[in-house]
Chains A and B, each alone.
Chain A
């Protein structure tokens, strides 16, 4: 079945550092890919998405490119802020699973001043 693998956390960075959170997937067909963010004590919010190969999703300075050849959707940000501290989830959605989101295990990010 489909699956998503994310790098283990927690990730601790200093403010203004470069962020990469790796995400790879296994899926049949042509899934859509997502990054969701969960701030402490809150629900999940969609951060960005890409629906086909080579699409780049971007939002709030975060970017991720759908790479079918490497089955990856790595999340990047050039300069993180303390307010980016949260748990980040990579997810895919596929028609063969009723369009439910299939999440990775989440990566906790802590940004220190």
Chain B
């Protein structure tokens, strides 16, 4: 009965590969987010969707593409992975934009 769940929890892959991280929330929330946490623990917003519509698209490489098949899911697809993409990626959701955000447990991506 996890509120915001991400899969996989750990992902190790080689440079140049394409990978996806999935996120699902069972809270009935309208808004979902992806944040990136770097090796120094710094957290930064990447994307936000509200009712399947993109509302925030921060300056991230266009190798990163979010996909929201429905408002309970926001998946993150990454093409041509680079060493610098190694980080922990957190998904979050909120009832609406501006409401309290609930975070998933994170996906630790390691690119070798």
Contacts and interface: CB of A to CB of B under 8 A. Distances in A.
B11 interface: no
Interface in B88-112: 90, 92, 94, 97-98, 100-106
Chain B interface size band reads: 20 to 34
Interface residues of A, number: 23
Interface string B27-48: 0000101010000111111001
Tell me the dominant secondary structure on chain B's binding face: strand
B16 to A, nearest CB: 29
A69 interface: no
A75 to B, nearest CB: 16
Contacts of B101: 46, 101
Contact of B48 (A38, A100, A103, A105): A100
Interface of A: 32, 36, 38, 42-46, 49, 87, 89, 93, 95, 97-103, 105-106, 108
10 contacts: A36-B103, A42-B106, A43-B104, A43-B105, A99-B98, A100-B48, A103-B42, A103-B43, A105-B40, A105-B41
A-B pairs, 8 with minimum CB distance: A100-B45, A99-B97, A99-B98, A43-B103, A103-B43, A98-B56, A43-B105, A44-B103
Given A42-B105, A43-B104, A46-B101, 13 more contacts: A38-B41, A42-B106, A44-B43, A44-B103, A49-B100, A89-B43, A97-B45, A97-B56, A98-B97, A100-B56, A103-B44, A105-B40, A106-B43
